[in-house]
A and B are shown apart, each in its own frame.
Chain A
Amino acid sequence: MSTQAEITTLDRVRDLIVKYGFIVVTVALFIFFAVTEPAFATSASVLSMLKYASVTAILGLGVTFSMVVGGLDLSIGSTAGLSVQLAAMTMVFYNLTGTTAVSVVLIGGVIVGVMNAVLIVVFKIPDLLATLGMMFVIQGVKLIPVFGQSVSSGMVLPDGSTAPGKFDDWFLQIDRGTLFGIPYPVIIMMVLVVASWFVLSRTSWGRKLYAIGANPEAARLAGVKVKLHHGLAYVVSAVFASIGGIILVSRIGQGDVSAGSSSLLEAVAVALVGTSVLGIGKPNAWGTLLGALLISIVLTGMTMMGTQYYHQDTAKGLVLIVALLLSYTVSRHKNRYVPAT
């Protein structure tokens, strides 16, 4: 008996679908919307789609890092929400600068990442469950210092006084500003995509992360410090969530208590969609970007065609399921992402 099964025409067609299916669908949808809605393909609309995609893509990159080591960071959305509150508090309650706010948020992200890492690698709680627990804790804890209210400039505090600070103009420019006509969030997104791609696929550290995701025991017996790197992936994930949170709070201009909570599912979805791009079967940075763009195209197109907002979740869910069908059902590759529980 030969191990190499014969490759039939059907198999070839399957491989083509798995490899290029998602790119073709994304381009086809773009053309479809561009033809049916004249406003869709204008540069303003394209930039706004990219801008919409930026937060999702950045959080998705964080999820991608956690998926590369075989886990899944469910606390990503609430960490972004925490960042929104931290930034607003720093500027509005304590009257500090936007730069300070950014530093506080990033430090907060590192702390969350380290806590996730400790729960997972030191206390050996499965990734999914540890980050699920952290998700609730963060959602609750972030409300305590703000008395459960959204933080905005000039708000009245419980003791009757008025909050001393306001959102820094510089800080508000993070979302609104442009460089050569390209919005900063889009530039930040592209920088992070390229950096993540480079780290994951061109450095020895990235190789170690993939090794841990593929077979942690084999990685350990090859001398890889599995616990250290597994934990660091969660720190990266939380820092990406914080960066996404900074853009988000700069966009809404207040410390909205519910900000970030809907980002989790989108971020996880785009990272999962990313695994099916080019038939790679593994979490990867460019795939995650494409997933974010695809969702952004679908939502923008639907909005322009006058579809009601409440159809959006259905559309996102269908995109995710099609992606999962491609990587788990149609693909003949066996080295696909399976989250450890």
Chain B
Amino acid sequence: MTTTTDENWALELDSITIAFGANQVLKGVDLKLRPGSVTALLGANGAGKSTLIKVLSGVYSAQGGTVRVDGDEVEIESPSDASKHGIQTVHQRIDDSIVPGLTVAENLVFEEIARGEFPAVSSLRRLMPRARTIASTLDLDWDDSILKQDVFHLGIADCQLLLLARALVHRPKVLVLDEPTSTLSASEAERLFALVEQLRDAGVAILYVSHRLSEIRQLADTVVVLRDGKVVDEQAAPFDLGVAIGAMLGREALEEESALQVQRGEGTALSISGARILDDSALVDMDFRYGEVTAIIGLIGAGKTELAQAVFGANRLEAGTFTLDGKPFAPRHPSTAVDAGVFLVPEDRAHEAMFPGWSITRTLTVPFLSRFARLGVMAGGAERAASATAIEDFGVVATGPNQPVDALSGGNQQKVVVARWMAAGPRVLILDEPFRGVDIGARTELSLKARSQAADGACVVVMLSDVDELRQVADRVIVLVEGEVRLDAYADEIDDDQIITSMSEVA
């Protein structure tokens, strides 16, 4: 189907879908980029941004929907397809694209080397003219001595420029920049902005992914907000970024809010004092009480995971002391925390909580093997019984206790790794982004479980980045921005605007 649109779009995405197993990541994304304009793409963790970028760059192929470049429908099945159709991407992680140990020149012409356009054994001198050409597309005044250096000697900012030059030499129609400033200093970022503006004026359509609102205000002509695999907001300049952030964090669905009866807990369970959560952040103090669910909400990089892992003994903070029930608590290993009844459900289920091929029963009992063993010998019956109870209590949809956890849906996997700790009766339970990759039904059930655990007297702490999720589970809200506490209040004392405003305030 070739339709001609009334306007010339450099790139048109029409209902792009992609799913990994049962997990639908993109649910029909529509996106249009004008030539000579910068479109900012906003979205929280797990919204589908990186997946969308990987579809555009040919790392994944879309399972549904169409892509048109300059009005013509194209198939992007591989990175070279993307390049052929004029789409270039500079990925966020430069170490994925830079080859250490090679010279700057070799890195500049790396794609040609990889495609075999240079003979297998080739002297550096033969590469130099091409390397000079590529470097000159960006007016990088790198002389031959720099080009012959190991790329290791370039700073991060220059590596970023190198990759940009590599992308630009193909004269792309569409340029995707994935969080290009996340590792740059302010002056380096300014240099990049100047380049982006130059490219825009030259007619390139730029998709700019960033969390930094000031950059978006400065650079973007359009803002597109992705949430839960769909575009939920689209604005032309001048922007109302409050609305955009609201859409990104999800505040439309407010109906369920009324159901939550805010509880005020009594008695401090865990107390944190003088903690430096991030490298340069100020010292913070926090108290977590029994009988309530505290949500710590913050964007990526706010320090939520660092805090959670430190309390669990999985890593160390630069500064700070903890007390548990008023006594000093300094876990040097998760085993100490587990023995003290302080549990953590980590952020990354597959890499931090699951064992490939392991059954539900085995996954559930790993931290508490001694409870199911007599003199070190496993009592299979007790283990299976505990597993059956957990499956029943948490409504895990599975064929039985022996089913491998990997074979379950995301929501049911999460129920298993949460049940593991909840069933053991925690004093303090920390859940780091427990609703990621979890369907809405499982999210509701897990929220209820967290709330009933608190009602039974436990101290529950949930790390989140989504206001909807927060409203569903939290009695108390702590807003964390760049490792510092910006707001600490009970959920019924504040509205969403206050939370979102304090989250998006930049120091």
Q: Which of A4, A204, A221, A223 contacts B378 (CB 8 A)?
A: A204
Interface set, chain B 366-409, CB cutoff 8 A to A: 366-367, 369-370, 372-373, 376-378, 404, 406-407, 409
Contact A215 B22 (CB under 8 A): no
Contact A223 B372 (CB under 8 A): no
Interface set, chain A 292-341, CB cutoff 8 A to B: 333-335
**How many chain B residues touch A (Cβ–Cβ < 8 Å)?**
36
Contact A204 B372 (CB under 8 A): yes
List the one stretch of B26-34, B250-258, B351-359, B459-467 in contact with chain A: B351-359
> Is A205 an interface residue, CB under 8 A from the partner?
yes
Contact A207 B351 (CB under 8 A): no
CB distance from B327 to the nearest CB of A (A): 20
Contact A218 B354 (CB under 8 A): yes
Cα A218 to Cα B405 with chains together (Å):
14
Interface size range on A against B: 20 to 34
Contact A333 B357 (CB under 8 A): yes
> Is B21 an interface residue, CB under 8 A from the partner?
yes
> Is A12 an interface residue, CB under 8 A from the partner?
no
Contact A222 B367 (CB under 8 A): yes
> Is B19 an interface residue, CB under 8 A from the partner?
yes
Cα A217 to Cα B351 with chains together (Å):
7
Encode A94-121 as 1/0 by CB contact (under 8 A) with B.
0000000000000000000000000000
Contact A221 B334 (CB under 8 A): yes
A1 contact set on B, CB distance < 8 A: 19, 21-22
> Is B338 an interface residue, CB under 8 A from the partner?
yes
Contact A204 B376 (CB under 8 A): yes
A43 contact set on B, CB distance < 8 A: none
Contact A334 B19 (CB under 8 A): no
Contact B376 A223 (CB under 8 A): no
B334 contact set on A, CB distance < 8 A: 220-223
Encode B303-333 as 1/0 by CB contact (under 8 A) with A.
0000000001010000000000000000001
CB distance from B415 to the nearest CB of A (A): 16
Q: Which of A203, A217, A219, A221 contacts B377 (CB 8 A)?
A: A203
CB distance from B390 to the nearest CB of A (A): 15
Contact B377 A225 (CB under 8 A): no
B230 contact set on A, CB distance < 8 A: none
> Is A291 an interface residue, CB under 8 A from the partner?
no
Cα A332 to Cα B185 with chains together (Å):
48
Contact B338 A3 (CB under 8 A): no
Residue of A nearest to B351 (CB): A217
Residue of B nearest to A204 (CB): B369
The 10 A-B pairs with the shortest beta carbon distances in the complex, nearest first, are A335-B357, A223-B338, A204-B369, A214-B355, A223-B335, A222-B367, A204-B373, A222-B366, A3-B21, A335-B356
Q: List 23 A-B contacts (CB under 8 A).
A: A203-B378, A204-B370, A204-B372, A204-B373, A207-B366, A208-B369, A214-B357, A215-B354, A215-B355, A219-B355, A219-B366, A220-B333, A221-B312, A221-B334, A221-B346, A222-B366, A223-B337, A223-B339, A224-B366, A224-B367, A334-B357, A334-B406, A335-B404
Q: Could you tell me which A residues sit within 8 Å of B by CB distance?
A: 1-4, 202-205, 207-208, 210-211, 214-215, 217-225, 281, 333-335
Known: A218-B355, A334-B406. 20 other contacts (CB 8 A): A1-B21, A3-B409, A203-B373, A203-B376, A203-B378, A207-B366, A208-B369, A211-B366, A214-B358, A217-B352, A218-B353, A218-B354, A219-B355, A219-B366, A220-B334, A221-B334, A221-B352, A222-B334, A222-B366, A223-B335
